Structure formats: structure tokens, C-alpha cells
């Protein structure tokens, strides 16, 4: 989940949502998968169909990249403890 401008953005296994941070009121929700076998590629394509979708997909990609950098850095720092 992320908080931007007083709005909490989050996702579950098949949908995305936004909540007002101060009240917890649901602002919107969007089902991302049409069926259980659609997978992440279908969810991302569905997300791109919205005005805010490009930003959301960019933030998702940025999160994956940051996790990758963190994982490599942590492995590098802990390399001497591997044996």
C-alpha cells in the first residue's frame, strides 16, 4: 500500500482500491482480473486502460526495480557470511 496526498492506494489479489486516509472511506475499487486464470499480464493490461493506469503501472515497475536493487545489495553485503 502507498499513501499519496492523503489517499491510501492498495491492491488485493484481483482488485485495486483507494481509501481516504483520514476517514478510511473507500473512494474507489476496480476489479483487475476478469477470471481466475487471467494472471498479472491481463491485470496490467486492464490497468493501462484507465487514465491513471500508466502511472500505476510505472509505480509497480519502480517497486519491482527497487526490490531487485535491494536484493542484490543485500546479497552483496552478506556475501562473506554465506560460507
pLDDT of residue 36: 64
pTM: 0.46
Residue 76 pLDDT exceeds 90: no
CA distance 35 to 50: 19
CA distance 10 to 15: 9
pLDDT of residue 5: 87
Going by C-alpha positions, the residue among 77, 38, 45, 75 that lies closest to residue 60 is: 45
CA distance 18 to 26: 6
Q: Which three cell numbers stand for residue 8?
A: 491510501
Q: Where are the domains of the chain?
A: 2-81
Mark out the alpha helices in 1-83 (DSSP H runs). 39-48, 53-77
Tens digit of pLDDT for each residue in 6-60? 899 988 877 889 999 999 999 998 887 666 666 777 778 888 888 888 888 888 8
Amino acid at each position: 500500500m502507498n499513501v499519496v496526498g492523503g489517499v491510501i492506494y492498495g491492491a488485493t489479489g484481483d482488485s485495486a482500491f483507494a481509501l481516504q486516509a483520514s476517514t478510511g472511506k473507500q473512494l474507489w475499487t476496480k476489479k483487475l482480473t476478469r477470471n481466475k486464470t487471467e494472471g498479472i499480464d491481463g491485470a496490467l493490461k486492464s490497468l493501462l486502460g484507465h487514465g491513471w493506469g500508466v502511472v500505476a503501472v510505472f509505480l509497480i515497475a519502480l517497486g519491482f526495480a527497487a526490490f531487485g536493487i535491494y536484493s542484490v545489495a543485500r546479497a552483496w553485503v552478506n556475501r562473506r557470511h554465506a560460507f
